[in-house]
Structure 1
Amino acid sequence: MTGWRDHLPGRSGWFWLALFAATWLLSRYSWDLYKAFDARWIVKFPSAYILPVEARISAFMRWLVEDAGFGLFSFRDVTRFISMLIEIPYDFMRDLLIDGFSTGLGNAAVQIAPPLSWIAIIVTLVAMGHYARNWKLAALVGGCFLYLAVFGQWDSAMVTLASVLIAVPIGSVGGLLLGILAYRSPLFERLLRPLLDLMQTVPVFAYLVPILFLFGFGPVAALVATIIYAMPPMVRVTIVALHGVPNETRDVGVMVGCTRRQMMWKVIVPSAAPTLMVGVNQVIMLTLNMVIIASMIGAGGLGFDVLSALRRLDIGGGIEAGLAIVVMAIALDRLSQAFASRNVATRAPDPNRNLFQRHPWVATVLLVAICTYLLSQVAPALQAYPEAATLSTGAFWSDFMGYINVHFFDVFETIKTALLSYLLLPVKRFFVGIPWPWGIMAMTLIGWRAGGLWLAALSGILTALIAMVGLWDKAMITVYLCGVSVLIASAIGIPMGIMAAQNDTANRVVGSFIDTLQTLPSFVYLIPVVMLFRVGDFSAMIAVVLYAMAPAVRYAAHGIRSVDPQLIEAGLVSGCTPRQVLWRIKLPMAIPELLLGLNQTIMLALSMLVITALVGTRDLGQEVYIALTKANSGQGIVAGLAVAFIAIVADRILSATASRMRRKMGLEQ
């Protein structure tokens, strides 16, 4: 028989309860303390002690662009050389896909060859789909790009595709080479990991500010930002893939006398190719996501169409361009996944077959390209899809959204008001009211409790730096929005993951839904949210929940499936009902995985919060966006680093907690 003492929290529970109670009291009465002791520093970091980091970074960037030199050449010469290296293949790709090849400048330019016809491009993609998997994938990819032509999005889509086709090879090859260096040198890997953490936690808008300052406005600057943003996952995947090559494979290379270079490029890298292709898939999706965002500094294409539609409040045009992005993302994602999982059958070429018989798809593509070029002289519609034959759904979407707003306005407004009144605003008052000295102390204590003295020092220092650059209030609004969004995303996502793990039908439905959410570029989430809920914190929260939900679902499903079947069998034998097995065995054992899913949900929420600055938030994302509009590199970098510090602290604390729980459960040493 249990007594009342058995239901009291343990030592750890008392710690968290006391910490929350102290934080709540100080948050609620911080202004009363300020008035009672006439100490403004309690609630506002003293302006006299704010570090002048922003001004110094701006001054350094100006010096770098205007005065820095390396003897024979200046830093500006370096950026111009990099721009040239990127601009030449980019211009070629644009000429090939959309502009055509010409000679001369300006009005004197004369076209010497047209671009590939829309039919040739679609046939090329169909060929790639069939080569990678089967006719089903070929039909999907071909249908997606045919949709772009029929619905009048072809030109913008080809501009975006040109950017993707340049950024993906550079990002993939650069990530592969850095991953190989990290694999060969443990010291280089240790030095690289913090840089990769920073690159993946600094918000995407923050990349744009210094690159805009260094490379100017235009597609080259957008491509540089895209490559930097998309490369880190390839580096990480390369390191994991190379370490995952079996020792037996390496032994075979040693036995046949491979040199170190031959071992890497003829044994290890080919053996790791399937995993490396997963990294290429990630590069493609991040590239497409960033190319859309980089339209703000001159990338053009579909991203610019979405951005201009949002600025004009053109509902139909925005949704049309957004759907085009979704269609292109689905096609490229499925195609890259197929190449990642493709089994390459190696067989000797048949000497009795000619080149066209050995490579029928290559021959077909070349034949279609030549025939459409020749026939387009008499039938221009074969070269460029006729504008008269395009369809538009803009009016339909405008009317549809208008119908929803008219007939369901009261419902949406009731939900919005209830969540604002009973969740968002109370949580906002709580976080905004936390005095910065106590905030630093609390994060230090949490770090110490989660991971010891090292994590306590890291948490305290990074939190203190946010206060010392004068961004405490903005950071607390960011934490509030992120916290509420992650709470709702987890409350929806974890039950979905549990349901998917225990039911095959639910797994297929939920899997398809999550695949779709992960395929959509982040920019796209803003369109329906703004149309239905207008601008503000609530709209930002909805967009973040949709974008960040996927990891909560996937990690919950993985955690439930990973529970040892013997434990489940023991529970059933002891008389547990299925509900008791879930609550008493599966969920407790899956807590480490749930924490890792929470970690990834927070990372995605923070990255999306910066983009939601476009819908009127007042957090660190707004600081980055304002810096972008003013080309203020110091402000953008400082605000971006503040977001990165929040992400790093959350990542380290949750990772340490998950690791400790795994050790407690005996899942790792």
Structure 2
Amino acid sequence: MTRYPAAWQVPVAAEISAFMRWLMESATFGVFTVRELTRGIAWVLDLPLAAAKAVLAGGIGWGRGAETVSLAPAIPWFSALIAGVAAGYWAGGARLALLMGAGLGYLAVFGQWPSAMVTLASVLVSSALGAAGGLLIGLACVRWRWVERAVSPLLDLAQTMPVFAYLLPMLILFGFGPVSAMIATIVYAMPPMIRVTTLAIRAVPPEIRELGAMTGCTRAQLTWKMLVPSALPALMVGVNQVIMLSLNVVIIASMIGAGGLGFDVLAALRRLDIGAGLEAGLAITVLAILLDRFAQALATKSARAPERDPERAARKRRLLTGAFWVAALLWLAAALKPDIAGYPEALRLSTAPYWNDLVRWINVTFFSTLEAIRAWAFLNLLAPVKRFALALPWVWVVALVGIAGYRLGGFRLAALTVALSLFIAAVGLWQVAMLTVYLCGLAVVVAALIGVAVGVASATRPRLWRAVETVIDLLQTLPSFVYLIPIVMLFRVGDFTALIAIVLYAVAPAIRYTAHGVARTPPALVDASVMNGCTRRQILTRVRLPLALPEILLGINQTVMLALSMLVITALVGTRDLGQETYSALAKADIGKGLVAGLCVAFIGIIADRLISAAAERTKRRMGLGR
């Protein structure tokens, strides 16, 4: 009852590996094999990716290798800067134009332009395909309920399974290179678009549907000319999420040939070059901010009424057209005189030496203090919790999650949690999974304590909230790998380093949801509390926090999901949990082991998600807040 018997284990990993070998070596459709089919799909998908990279990074040409005939260089930085500023002004006004100019200027000045353009090409193509695929699947879910029932569990798996887990299948199916990385990115980034599409189309007012029926629209006309345009502002939120998730995968995808800024960050992490890693990571953050703000501006523009002043609208169009003509002429000038295309080497700046010197000074000056903090945390926090988690009998843990599921959501939730827990035990990864639960659970507790405290403090203080929101926006746009570089340089590898990185990456939802829930307390209840003589502390503990509890639980739920996704990244700094199993499977090309370990991470996330969501719903019902 303490350890799951080895004789009861099911060789799922070996069966998956054997199936994949058969699929790629022997499976055939008669006319062509599965390998030929997947390689053909990869060739088709490579066409838009190669075109985008040619325009933005590599130059337009014909042929391969030494026989390549160059037709035009890639768009130079000054042409892209002018076009970006003009597009920003058209979509969001002068403020967005200024932001676009500053962001693109940063990429050029700090020498990140070539890698940034490779990353931008991959993100643009991945986002376009992911958004289009998510829109079509979401529309299918709205039209056919059985599609939604079939897709829903797959979406849960795709959003909770580590990206490492399906990098290897993509690599085997589609070959090493940027196309496999792009497909993995699409799979990871598509689920939010599907969910947003389903919600947005169903939220279209029924009057619009009735109008379409009365005017004789066909089903296709009703969908594409009435429902989709009406839901466009909400759909752009999904597109924004696809872009952000695509950028979040660029570093991981660089492991199988994606290149760009992700490869620069990964290379800097491998050689512990904090300065170069931070500069490349900040370049990804700049790209994320620019694309995020531009997508938000497009969503706002689509929701606004058309420009009422025809002269102003015409002036904007002339300005945009003129800017693009200037950018095109400068591109032509760069083609005729290639020396002017690149940013001047003498004008480039770099902060990498300063970051490296700062970390070196901190290590030399505060080495004893840092080691004391690390040792104290390991001996008094990490090691006891780890021993406790590993000592728990598997039968007790399965029974505990089953009882929790039954109390919170009834028999169906209990059956789901027990089945998922038993799967983890049956595939022989129970001990490794408990290491995951220990590190992830401890990080979630620390992040929740920090997040609830900061959220409560900033909820009723607008100035403080603006500062806090700026910080958490930065934390949410920084690539996950970037967190590891300075922490490894200060605390070396190990569980304590992983704990700090996970807390920093996962704390934002706890802060945001807590502040949102506390700030939404009805003013009438606060006034009634004041009239009854309650102190500020009583109003907080007896009124605001109880009413905000469902929102706080949802924030903790998101914190768990982010912690699990970051836990796999921390495998690079020496953790020994399911993340390490997934990462080592990628290194050994063991597809069965990687998928099974990834499924175990996903199942832990699904168990936590279902239990916390059920607790939040039960709290809402008990407090009479409705669903």
2:150 matched residue in structure 1: 191
Determine whether 1:455 maps to 2:413.
Answer: yes
1:439 matched residue in structure 2: 397
Deviation track 1:87-113 (CA, whole Å, cap 9, x = no partner) reads: 011111111111112223211222121
2:190 matched residue in structure 1: 231
Asked whether the equivalents of residues 72 and 335 of structure 2 are also in contact (C-alpha less than 8 Å), the reply is: no
2:513 matched residue in structure 1: 555
- Any unmatched runs of 5+ in structure 1? 1-41
Question: How much does 1:44 deviate?
Answer: 2.7
**Separation of aligned partners in 1, 2:496 and 2:525:** 43
1:484 matched residue in structure 2: 442
Asked whether the equivalents of residues 208 and 226 of structure 2 are also in contact (C-alpha less than 8 Å), the reply is: yes
Letter in 2 for 1:138: A
Among 289, 292, 314, the residue aligned to 1:333: 292
Correspondence list, 1:98-497, <5 A: 98-342=57-301, 343-346=303-306, 358-374=317-333, 377-378=336-337, 380-381=339-340, 383-497=341-455
Question: How much does 1:338 deviate?
Answer: 1.8
Deviation track 1:268-323 (CA, whole Å, cap 9, x = no partner) reads: 11111111111111000100111221001110011111111111122222222222
Q: What is the TM-score of this pair, normalised by structure 1? A: 0.90
Among 496, 500, 505, the residue aligned to 1:538: 496
Among 51, 54, 57, the residue aligned to 1:95: 54
Alpha-carbon distance change, 59 to 148 in structure 1, aligned in 2, over 3 angstroms: same
Provide the secondary structure at the position in 2 that maps to 1:102: strand
Alpha-carbon distance change, 474 to 379 in structure 1, aligned in 2, over 3 angstroms: closer
1:84 matched residue in structure 2: 43
Letter in 1 for 2:73: P
Asked whether the equivalents of residues 160 and 561 of structure 2 are also in contact (C-alpha less than 8 Å), the reply is: yes
Question: How much does 1:135 deviate?
Answer: 1.5
Among 462, 468, 475, the residue aligned to 1:504: 462
- Any unmatched runs of 5+ in structure 2? none
Provide the secondary structure at the position in 1 that maps to 2:70: strand
1:636 matched residue in structure 2: 594
1:659 matched residue in structure 2: 617
Correspondence list, 1:43-62, <5 A: 43-62=2-21
Question: How much does 1:595 deviate?
Answer: 1.1
Letter in 2 for 1:466: I
1:518 matched residue in structure 2: 476
Provide the secondary structure at the position in 2 that maps to 1:346: coil
The Cα RMSD (Å) is 2.0
**Separation of aligned partners in 1, 2:501 and 2:100:** 28
Tell which deviates more after alignment, 431-440 or 361-370: 361-370
Aligned-residue sequence identity (percent) comes to 55
**Separation of aligned partners in 2, 1:222 and 1:359:** 40
Provide the secondary structure at the position in 1 that maps to 2:366: helix
**Separation of aligned partners in 2, 1:353 and 1:485:** 53
**Separation of aligned partners in 2, 1:408 and 1:317:** 23
Question: How much does 1:349 deviate?
Answer: 11
Letter in 2 for 1:544: I
Question: How much does 1:325 deviate?
Answer: 1.6
Deviation track 1:45-84 (CA, whole Å, cap 9, x = no partner) reads: 2222211100000011111111111222221122112111
Deviation track 1:326-351 (CA, whole Å, cap 9, x = no partner) reads: 2222222222222222244436997x
Letter in 2 for 1:102: G
1:584 matched residue in structure 2: 542
How many residue pairs get aligned? The number is: 626
Question: How much does 1:446 deviate?
Answer: 1.8
Provide the secondary structure at the position in 2 that maps to 1:111: strand
Q: What is the TM-score of this pair, normalised by structure 2? A: 0.96
Asked whether the equivalents of residues 455 and 514 of structure 2 are also in contact (C-alpha less than 8 Å), the reply is: yes
Letter in 2 for 1:56: E
Provide the secondary structure at the position in 1 that maps to 2:176: coil
Asked whether the equivalents of residues 80 and 327 of structure 2 are also in contact (C-alpha less than 8 Å), the reply is: no
Among 72, 86, 90, the residue aligned to 2:31: 72
Provide the secondary structure at the position in 2 that maps to 1:666: coil
Decide which structure has the larger Cα Rg and report it.
1
**Separation of aligned partners in 2, 1:104 and 1:597:** 52
